[in-house]
Amino acid sequence: MPKFAANLSMMYNEVPFTERFAAAAADGFQGVEYLFPYAWQPDELKSLLQQHGLQQVLFNAPPGDWDGGERGLAALPGREAEFREGIALALQYSRVLGNRLIHVMAGILPAGADAREYRNTYLNNLAYAADLAEQAGCRILIEPINHADMPGYFLRYQAQAAEICAELKHPALAVQFDIYHCQRTEGCLSHWLQEGLAREHGQIAHIQLAGYPGRHEPDIGEIHYPYLFQRMDELAYSGWVGCEYRPQGNTSAGLSWLRNLR
C-alpha cells in the first residue's frame, strides 16, 4: 500500500495551519505536504515536524503573485530573475525541512501569447532549477494541471510533461502525477501511471489524489482508487501519495477511506 502524506493546505482547515501538523499525526499520517512554506520561518516548521514525528515530503517554489492570480513563473518570459530568486529560496527551505522534492509551477499563458517563447523560457528555467536542485540532492517536479480549474495554465497534458523531460534529459527533473487533474483532462489513469513510471527521463516521483468530480475524499466520485493503489504496488512505486483534496466535512471524520486500507 502506498505511503500517504496529508496536504495541510487543503486538509484540516478546521484549525490554524500550525495546528494541522498535530492533527495529521494524530490521524496516523507520517508525511505532510502543502503549497507554500514562505509565510513561516523554516526553523518554526522544522520544529513542528520534529515535535509530531512527521516527514516533509513536498512544497512548491514561489509562484509569483499568487493572490493576484499568478500560478508560477517558470514559463513567463521576462521573469527569469524572480524565478531564480524563488528557486534559491525554495532550496534554502528544503535544506532545513529535509524534503527532496520541489514542485515548480509553470504559469498562465496569456491569450494570444507566443507559445514557443513561453516553452523556450520554461525549458531554460527548468534546466537552471534542476542544476541547482541536483547540487542540493533535490529534484524539481512539473505537474500538468487541468484548464477547468486553472484556465490558461501552460502545462496541461501528461504527454507534454513527458516530452519536456525527454528533451531536457536531466536526472533532477521529474513529474508530479496528480490523478484528479489527469482524470479531468484526459482520463486513462492506469495508462499514464504505468507510462510515467516506466520513462527513462522524467519519471513520476510524486503522486497526488482526490476524488472526481468535486475534489473531495478519494472514495467519493468516479475514480476507483483501490485499483490504482494496487497498480502502484504492482509497478513498484515507492514514493509518497499526497492527499490533495478538500474534505467534504470534518477532515478526520472523512478519513474512513484511509482507515479501511490499514
Distance between CA atoms of 259 and 150, rounded to whole angstroms?
32
Write down the pLDDT at residue 118: 98
Per-residue pLDDT tens for 182-212?
A: 999 999 999 999 999 999 999 999 999 999 9
Query: What mean pLDDT, rounded, does the chain reach?
Result: 98
Write down the pLDDT at residue 11: 99
Contact between 62 and 88 (Cβ < 8 Å): no
Known catalytic residues? 143, 244
Integer-rounded Cα radius of gyration of the chain: 17
Q: Which three cell numbers stand for residue 110?
A: 496569456
Distance between CA atoms of 170 and 127, rounded to whole angstroms?
7
User: Average pLDDT of 116-134?
Assistant: 98
Residue 35 binned pLDDT confidence (cut-offs 50, 70, 90)? very high
Residue 262 binned pLDDT confidence (cut-offs 50, 70, 90)? confident
Per-residue pLDDT tens for 87-101?
A: 999 999 999 999 999
Phi-psi sector, 36: left (phi>0), alpha (psi -120 to 50), beta: beta
> Does position 41 have pLDDT exceeding 90, yes or no?
yes
Contact between 228 and 197 (Cβ < 8 Å): no
Residue 232 binned pLDDT confidence (cut-offs 50, 70, 90)? very high
> Does position 150 have pLDDT exceeding 90, yes or no?
yes
- The pTM of the full predicted model, rounded to 2 decimals, is 0.98
Distance between CA atoms of 153 and 169, rounded to whole angstroms?
23
- Helices (DSSP H) in 147-255: which residue ranges? 158-168, 179-185, 189-198, 225-234
Per-residue pLDDT tens for 62-89?
A: 999 999 999 999 999 999 999 999 999 9
